[in-house]
Structure 1
């Protein structure tokens, strides 16, 4: 036991929390935090007992002997560390009868993983894993389940469950219906140095399992800090955390012939533990903690709880900044519709129009300029609400928004400026002087605490390509570009992927706006100024300086983050098929939906059969993203709500989809892997299709070479899986081979379905006309329009970053022309959207009146 002396500290603020105090005065943030989407709920605790009884007919991996089995239990919502049974050696029918106890919170999705291992000398072999939703057991019941692991060999695992309501009082949580925030405890302390004790190479290893900081090493000797070494840990109060202290002695050993590289040896001396629940709230205490018979460490410790004020916004509504923008933008749009279409309409009745651009490197960036210029020439740019893009289109957007008045000026000036950079040599980006500058900047970024990776270097390369000088602009600076509703609202797209999963199988859309960065899937957002800072359990742990926008451009256009399987798929049209035979096999083994007590929000029990060691080797080789950028995960430490499956963004109804494995979803991960949105859908449809944005018309500009309708097909599948309204996409085989300039897709009977105008990148009638209805007069004009956009000899290949001036002008001109040549189609869509918007508003008014 430890001995403690308590001292009151009235009004004392912990240094570790000081950084989070000042910026909480920001009025805009406070209004956003108080948004109505999150709520406080009170839920009881339950005591869960899991008894691993036995396994039967287990066939191990060793051909010369029977299996040496043990079972690992993982329940991360209740315990930060997995538990395991003892090993039963050389048995096909091992029996354990071991019971493990957990205290679970009923507000979160508690998923227990039971993994059967075969003990090995080198690396234990994973035989199979059962994923079980604890919610399938009724409180007060004792249920014995036999999980069939292999029907052919009659392998099975027998487990007994018992759940009883805990005597602990119910606790309050914060939730938005998808994520749950528990109370976070901050333990701050100081290791005291005693001059009377003997000197030595003593080292303390401090850890709080499940904490954000994990482990801290501190020398037990006099340092520059005369008062001793400080430490701080942040942990989940509900997992009953404890501070573990281990004392080591590092002995220096002279090298010898047998171990020439060995010059020191660590001697373990003892350890001790302090239950954090035993510490008083808001008071500093002195602790004498025995570590061994001869060693006692003296520490002063203070515990504080952080809960009521979250530093992350949990909610699905739009940010305060975006909502404020919309009020102002509606007036601009109403005036634009009057000028362009001679339509008199009230600001609240105007349709919401989103213009989106696909990826495609410099080709997409240049083309997007041309498309926007066409909309400006039609006097329709002021009729748009949102401007969104992925990859190369974001390069266009980010440079435009450096001018707070860009859409109210002639776009010829920024186009001439970007032409200068696109048509100039890029060799300076790799000069010795530039590389030295990049190295210094990356080192400074790392010293500031940011995770530095390949995408950051790529961002600095893009900075040179687009500006040929240092560009200190940040994304939050673009708040000046939308503060009066003077420009469309920019939404930049990235996707969060897994390092070893294809973006086509799993990708979570992350939106970047001038006000917030976040995942609408989880309803989790942080201020744009705080992107790159460290968060845990919804609280700001370490605030860092907002990175320059070029580092975000490196993420938005990180084409180099592709894995070998995706590269193969792009080259051949399909992935490496034989890899599929090596992946884990997932199947439902216990369909609880048939049971009378089953709740539709509960997950089915699934069996995961691992592909094996050979599978892991090939998966790591072909599926890993060697250059994917790791960033701090601002959702880390939050849990999935018990009914998260009911939110449409999740595809949890697919038993083999990662959404059905809440223990492995993003909030449980340490890092984000944000890459180019093109690895999922090469156009930001998912971001503008969010119901909160209520978009009526989408002008989709597709700048990819191949498969001109692929983004529509992928979006249609995405929406169908999630129940998002989207028009039916029907095109002929002739259209696939020879696409036209513009296609309209809509559902005439359903005003909730947006009207989609899709513009493939084509050079169709531009060959014959220099302007809509105007024939070229000179040979030079005829030659200017007669060119191929794609092909192996095309100057517009995705990997080409430098164009000849004439090629640049052609690409601008053909995209501008394609918009101008479809003026009536665009205006007709806007008129139809205006009528649908009025009908939609009338329906909502009637529905609201009935509720009242």
Structure 2
């Protein structure tokens, strides 16, 4: 039925030019002659020459009608008058040509076109090795680690550079609890002289807030941590009401408006980053991640690695997550071997070329992304809290069937993908899935891998789960380089500790000190990492825990795989209050009622002050948590030294490859 009404309107003839697969969106072609002395409209399309592309031109009419009546409304109707196109393969490279494009009866447009092949070096790094900045750091850090090992292990001489084991300290997620606890753990390592034996310091979620704050001081690990801990306490124990003051709200509006004005897709995570900025500093923090290059320029501190994951909006992080690492020198995906300089994160790239540079984001926006634990779907919330997702959703998901048996073909070509037939469900099932599996928010950033072509044998890479029938890796057109934006969220949605980024073979980590600040399931990150490694053929020790350890965990566990020296040694510290309850310090029991009361507290439980959503502690609560984490390291000093000796022995025996 056609709506009849009386009114007045205007008609406008438009012409659009579009190139499927190009970086640019459709462009508007003016049909009126250009003004005297002016230049005709010029535009550029960037496209992959491998793709058989064409320039499509469409002629349309846009009719705008103002309806008469008590409530006048504008109605817009668009109709297509004609279309045409030009195959790019018909253009000679480097020569300007005039082409006539017929758009229908008595309609044509004249285009002056020139095809050029892009030349020059890429503006990002492709490869699976370490960047120059990190490699230069390692060369300098080895000398510091070697001297520290000689001192803490009582060696007669410092190990040679090739025999120095690589030690990584990992901090788990856990919001303010993780941030506060990591200060205590690092203080314990520093007090034992062990902090200088550490090569990498890596974190997820709340731990990244501690690490990124420490690295504002280029020599933080060379001075006592009491100062940074006192400053952290002042922030954690202060009121957060000022975050909602009229001045701060105006500041948020200005900052987010500035982001939007620079074509950034603003999300709740950006606002969260500004709130985190207030919680941590209570003032504008101009720091950027690339500023931290100064803190590693002489190898004086461990190398920081901040973790995030790239996700799909309607798939849980446990089912699909691509680990993205942020370091002072680069941001990138080890899975794809694609990295951009940290200063260029947030800029627009296509096929490895920088098309639109944009300012590097302030670190508060990264802190919001790294710690965006609220960016979950309803299904993920059930998965994390109840241990399983919403099972009724399985009946609403699309089905994937293997339509051929290519086992014989795979004998000749192991990388051949089997043909998969994807059958989507109906609109009702899709609506149900959208409600329960879509994320509340995610940090959308320009995709620096966009337009990159993967090697035809990409499925042979161990990072790709193409052997799983329903995994997105099994569908080449769903890989991240085919997408416009990255959806980056808290790495804890996949594994609540940055193990995957520290298990890369190019980093050759020998010993991992894992600090787990979760309130429940103290071995979950290890078990999930073990499964992650099994799926990808990555050496990792078997995680075998006794039932009594699940009920009442100890302060420290050592896991090593004697049969496979390629496997790293893992020293795992759950957040528990066992001997700290009765001891002021290792070997020193609590005597007075005040001392006993100070140690008698539960970390978890229904009335714990250390819940995920609690960002403000009482001074005593903060001091207890930091003291507990510090004590648990000091009380297991000999176990740490034992792990260091074992890692050194493996290096000296040549069982581990160099970085």
What TM-score do the two structures reach when normalised by structure 2? 0.94
Q: Which residue of 1 aligns with 2:25?
A: 214
| Structure 2 residue corresponding to 1:509, chosen from 320, 323, 327 | 323
Matching residue of 1:253: 65
Secondary structure of the residue aligned to 2:218 is coil
User: Helix, strand or coil: the match of 1:486?
Assistant: coil
Task: Tell me how many residue pairs correspond in the alignment.
Answer: 647
Q: Which has the larger radius of gyration?
A: 1
Measured at CA, do residues 200 and 793 of structure 1 come closer, stay the same or move farther in structure 2, by a change above 3 Å? closer
Which of 171, 177, 185 pairs up with 1:363?
177
Find 2:595's aligned residue among 778, 781, 784.
781
- Partner Cα distance (2:180, 2:410) in 1: 60
Measure the CA separation in 1 of the matches of 2:657 and 2:207: 36
2:569 is equivalent to residue 755 of structure 1: yes
- The equivalent of 1:585 in structure 2 is 399
1:619 partner SS: helix
Q: Which runs of 5+ in 2 are unaligned?
A: 1-9
Summarize the alignment of residues 470-509 of structure 1 with structure 2, pairs less than 5 Å apart.
Answer: 470-509=284-323
Find the aligned partners of 2:102 and 2:463 in 1 and give their Cα distance: 51
Cα deviation, 1:656-709, whole Å, max 9, x if unaligned, reads 322222221212222211110100000000010011100000000000011000
In structure 1, distance between residues paired with 2:254 and 2:159:
55
Within the alignment, does 1:742 sit opposite 2:553 as a pair? no
1:76-105 deviations in Å (ceiling 9; x for gaps): xxxxxxxxxxxxxxxxxxxxxxxxxxxxxx
| Secondary structure, counterpart of 1:686 in structure 2 | helix
Q: Could you tell me which residue of structure 1 aligns to residue 6 of structure 2?
A: none
The equivalent residue for 2:251 is 437
Contact 1:517 1:525 in 2 (8 A): yes
Task: Give the match's secondary structure for 1:250.
Answer: strand
1:686 to 1:481, Cα distance in 2 relative to 1, 3 A: same
Contact conserved, 2:11 with 2:64, CA < 8 A, in 1? no
SS of the residue 1:693 aligns to: coil
Report the counterpart of residue 340 of structure 2 in structure 1.
Answer: 526
**Are the aligned partners of 1:449 and 1:544 in contact in 2 as well (CA < 8 Å)?**
no
1:578-603 per-residue CA deviation (whole Å, 9 max, x = no partner) reads 11222222233322104586422112
1:645 to 434, 456, 459: 459
Measure, in 2, the Cα distance between the counterparts of 1:415 and 1:456.
Answer: 27
**Structure 1 segment 451-470 matched on structure 2, within 5 A:** 451-470=265-284
Does residue 336 (structure 1) correspond to residue 148 (structure 2)? The answer is yes
User: What 5-or-longer segments of structure 1 have no aligned partner?
Assistant: 1-198, 845-852
- Judged with a 3 Å threshold, the aligned counterparts in structure 2 of structure 1 residues 223 and 578 are, in CA distance, closer, same or farther, namely farther
d(CA) in 1 for partners of 2:265, 2:75: 32
**How far apart are the structure 1 equivalents of 2:141 and 2:446?**
34
1:248 CA displacement: 3.2
1:812 alignment partner, one of 621, 626, 641:
626
Q: Give SS of 1:253's match.
A: strand
Q: Is the 8 A contact 2:508 2:657 kept in 1?
A: no
- Distance in 1 of aligned mates of 2:411 and 2:225: 63
Q: 1:663 to 1:289 in 2, by over 3 A?
A: closer
Match of 1:670 in 2: 484
Structure 2: distance between partners of 1:636 and 1:556: 22
- The corresponding residue for 1:627 is 441
> Does 1:564 pair with 2:378?
yes
Aligned-partner SS, 1:337: helix
Q: What is the CA deviation profile of residues 511-560 of structure 1, one whole-angstrom value per residue up to 9, with x for unaligned ones?
A: 11111111111111111111111111222221111101111111111111
Looking at structure 1, the residues matched to 109 and 402 of structure 2 have their Cα atoms a distance apart, in angstroms, of 52
Structure with the larger RCO, 1 or 2 (CA within 8 Å, 6+ apart): 2
Q: Secondary structure at the match of 2:117?
A: strand
Separation (CA, whole Å) in 2 of partners of 1:224 and 1:688: 63
User: Counting strand residues as a fraction of each chain, which structure ranks higher?
Assistant: 1
Q: Distance in 2 between matches of 1:242 and 1:444?
A: 37
Please state whether the residue corresponding to 1:630 is helix, strand or coil. Answer: strand
1:731-768 CA distances to partner (integer Å, 9 max, x unpaired)?
11110010010000001232211110000000110011
CA contact (8 A) 2:566 2:656 kept: no
Query: Matched residue of 1:590: which SS?
Result: coil
Distance 1:594 1:281, change over 3 A: closer
| Aligned-partner Cα distance in 2 for 1:285–1:446 | 39
Asked if 1:203 corresponds to 2:17, the answer is: no
Map 1:346-425 to 2 at 5 A. 346-425=160-239
Partner of 1:710: 524
From the superposition, tell whether residues 629 and 282 of structure 1 become closer, same or farther in structure 2 (CA, over 3 Å). Answer: same
Contact 2:200–2:305 (CA under 8 A) maintained in structure 1: yes
Residue 311 of structure 1: aligned partner? 123
1:200 Cα deviation from its structure 2 partner: 8.5
Deviates more, 1:591-600 or 1:648-657: 591-600
SS in 2 for 1:692: coil
TM-score, scaled relative to structure 1: 0.73
Q: How far apart in 2 are the matches of 1:310 and 1:534?
A: 13
536-545 or 760-769: bigger deviation: 536-545
Rounded to whole Å, the distance in 2 between the matches of 1:601 and 1:208 is 31
The DSSP-based 3-state class of the residue aligned with 2:585 is coil
